[in-house]
């Protein structure tokens, strides 16, 4: 006969074991509290804290209860069940403890409650140069909610903004700004927005020259490049009344459109000029810049044609856009000559950028690509960017023929000049006729020998405009109002002026 081997436990033992499942104090030294991460919060926001008691293997303990507290009620207050209210801006510790489990390791974390507009930190905070960038971390930095961003005393352009939560871009994120003059050696970041004004707690050390220096007598070579854009470069301080330069070089790998942009809002007109050329070097014997024997150059008041400098006066500008259609593959130089310090923007774009659509003759901005023109035919062309220049070419077979060129701009404030040049390149460019009369209408007249000629339309005033061009041939009665007489001859070996602004002073001319 089998015996019943089940043991009957006393009631007290049963009660003890039941209690051990709820309050396992005999092994509490092996327990800890796990506190869930707390998101970044703004002042006035609510959040429900959550935590649990776990054993040494990380498994939750059934019925483990947790209480919460904040060490700084001025920043956050917490109810025992984990309801938290962000009461102010600042730092506090949130502590989670096991209830009735002595010896259980508590959990704590330090949190920061942010204002609606606040900068946590910036990087780098050691070294940056003009044209470099600084990353700003904080709350409320969405550019749509900002009026301005400053580095030191100067406004800084914004490169990009990356929100931590794309669905809530006005909360927390990273704002990337450009380091731009006049940022001083040690500068704080400040932001002004709908929610007030905020300053960075630390400063950034600014080296007061741009990222492409030194590039005054040797070029910064971008090599094969598709796109360059930097709005925060710098004309550094130079000796008074001296002309300094920033020199860039790039390689065009295939034939295609190119636009060079240089712009500065904080320097006066005439303080800088831009030259784009297929040949440039620094001649230490002069010492100055020089071009190759067959070079062409596009630039305000200086246009080299197969090594001969053609220097028509043009009113100075505070910006320059040189758009070239179908630029052949090759290496090209950009020289920016300046007299006054200040910030500027620079770009090399893989497209044709213009204020007006290009005309049927483009590309004809340098003499190597001058467009053939028919006499006795009126055609409409375009000064598509301020200070654009149009080169045309024609042949005269009968010596003694008279040509009268009529130019009429549609823009009333335009001021176009007309030049008739005999093509003796690479030796010289005699000017046989010129009109520099102020106003939207100009005409030039010349009696021509047999040979090849350039007809050049120059935008003096810096006004994009459509215009009609009518070159009339032999037999035209000379217009007595057209200027005639002694005019210059441009020769190989003439100095290439790099002084910004050229020589705009002419009686009766308006900018």
pLDDT at 498: 58
DSSP letter for 105, please. B
- Is residue 179 helix, strand or coil? coil
Calculate mean pLDDT across residues 16-36: 59
pLDDT at 352: 96
pLDDT at 29: 61
pLDDT at 139: 94
Query: Tokens for 508?
Result: 């009766």
Calculate mean pLDDT across residues 54-67: 91
pLDDT at 301: 84
Is a pLDDT exceeding 70 seen at residue 12?
no
Strand partners for 349: 259
Calculate mean pLDDT across residues 397-402: 85
| Percent of the chain clearing pLDDT 70 (strictly above) | 86
- The pairing of strands 32-35 and 319-327 is unpaired
- Tens digits of residue pLDDT in 13-25: 323 333 334 344 4
- Tens digits of residue pLDDT in 123-155: 987 899 999 999 999 999 999 999 999 999 999
Q: Is 30 exposed, middle or buried (0-12, 13-18, 19+ CB in 10 A)?
A: middle
340-366 per-residue burial string, b: 16 or more CB within 10 A, e: under 16: bbbbbbbbbbeebbbeeebbebbbbbb
- Could you give all domains of the chain from N- to C-terminal order, each with its CATH number? 12-114 (2.60.40.1080), 118-210 (2.60.40.10), 220-349 (2.60.120.380), 367-491 (2.60.120.380)
Return the beta strands (E) in 45-157 as ranges. Answer: 46-48, 51-54, 66-70, 76-78, 83-86, 90-98, 107-114, 118-123, 128-130, 133-139, 146-151, 154-155
Is a pLDDT exceeding 60 seen at residue 75?
yes
pLDDT at 188: 95
pLDDT at 34: 95
pLDDT at 472: 83
Is a pLDDT exceeding 80 seen at residue 42?
yes
pLDDT at 170: 82
Is a pLDDT exceeding 50 seen at residue 504?
no
Q: HEC profile for 289-350?
A: EECCCCCEEEECCCEEECCEEECCCCCCCCEEEEEEEEECCEEEEEEEEECCCEEEEEEEEC
pLDDT at 428: 92
Q: How many Cβ atoms from other residues are within 10 Å of residue 329's Cβ?
A: 11
Residue 493: pLDDT band by 50, 70, 90 thresholds?
confident
pLDDT at 466: 97
- Most confident residue range from 27-36, 429-438, 473-482: 429-438
What global pTM score does this model have? 0.81
pLDDT at 506: 36
Query: Tokens for 142?
Result: 């969405």
pLDDT at 8: 35
- Tens digits of residue pLDDT in 310-357: 999 888 877 889 999 999 999 999 999 888 888 999 999 999 999 999
């Amino acid at each position: 006969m089998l015996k019943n081997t089940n043991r009957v436990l006393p009631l007290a033992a049963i009660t003890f074991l039941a209690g051990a499942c709820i309050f396992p104090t005999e092994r509490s030294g092996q327990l800890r509290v796990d506190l869930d991460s707390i998101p970044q919060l703004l002042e006035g926001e609510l959040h429900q804290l959550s935590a649990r008691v776990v054993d040494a293997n990380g498994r939750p303990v059934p019925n483990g209860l947790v209480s919460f507290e904040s060490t700084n009620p001025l920043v956050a207050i917490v109810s025992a069940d984990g309801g938290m209210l962000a009461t102010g801006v600042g730092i506090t510790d949130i502590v989670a403890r096991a209830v009735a489990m002595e010896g259980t390791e508590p959990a704590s974390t330090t949190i920061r409650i942010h204002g609606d507009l606040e900068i946590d930190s910036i990087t780098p905070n050691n070294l940056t140069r003009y044209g470099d960038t600084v990353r700003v971390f904080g709350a409320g930095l969405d550019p749509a909610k900002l009026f301005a961003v400053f580095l030191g005393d100067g406004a800084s352009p914004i490169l990009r903004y990356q929100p931590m939560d794309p669905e809530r871009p006005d909360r927390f994120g990273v704002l990337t700004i450009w380091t731009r003059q006049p940022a001083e050696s040690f500068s704080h970041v400040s932001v002004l927005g709908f929610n007030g004004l905020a300053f960075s707690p630390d400063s950034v050390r600014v080296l007061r020259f741009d990222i492409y220096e030194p590039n005054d007598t040797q070029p910064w070579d971008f090599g094969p490049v598709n796109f360059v854009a930097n709005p925060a470069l710098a004309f550094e301080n130079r000796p008074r009344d001296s002309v300094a330069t920033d020199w860039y070089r790039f390689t065009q790998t295939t034939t295609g459109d190119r636009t060079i942009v240089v712009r500065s809002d904080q320097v006066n007109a005439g303080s800088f000029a831009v030259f784009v050329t297929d040949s440039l070097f620094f001649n230490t014997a002069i010492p100055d810049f020089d071009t190759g024997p067959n070079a062409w150059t596009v630039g305000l008041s200086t246009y080299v044609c197969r090594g001969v400098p053609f220097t028509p006066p043009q009113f100075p500008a505070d910006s320059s856009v040189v758009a070239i259609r179908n630029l052949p593959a090759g290496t090209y130089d950009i020289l920016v000559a300046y007299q006054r310090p200040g910030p500027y923007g620079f770009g090399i774009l893989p497209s044709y950028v213009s204020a007006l659509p290009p005309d049927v003759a483009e590309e004809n901005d340098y003499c190597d690509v001058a467009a053939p023109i028919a006499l006795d035919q009126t055609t409409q062309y375009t000064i598509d960017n301020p200070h654009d220049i149009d080169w045309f070419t024609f042949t005269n077979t009968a010596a003694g023929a008279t040509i009268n060129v009529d130019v009429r701009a549609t823009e009333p404030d335009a001021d176009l000049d007309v030049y008739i040049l005999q093509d003796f390149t690479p030796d010289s460019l005699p000017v046989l006729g010129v009109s520099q009369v102020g106003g939207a209408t100009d005409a030039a007249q010349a009696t021509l020998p047999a040979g090849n000629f350039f007809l050049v339309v120059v935008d003096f005033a810096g006004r994009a405009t459509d215009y009609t061009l009518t070159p009339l041939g032999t037999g035209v009665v000379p217009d007595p109002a057209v200027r005639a007489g002694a005019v210059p001859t441009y020769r190989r070996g003439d100095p290439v002026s790099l002084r910004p602004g050229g020589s705009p002073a002419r009686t009766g001319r308006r900018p």
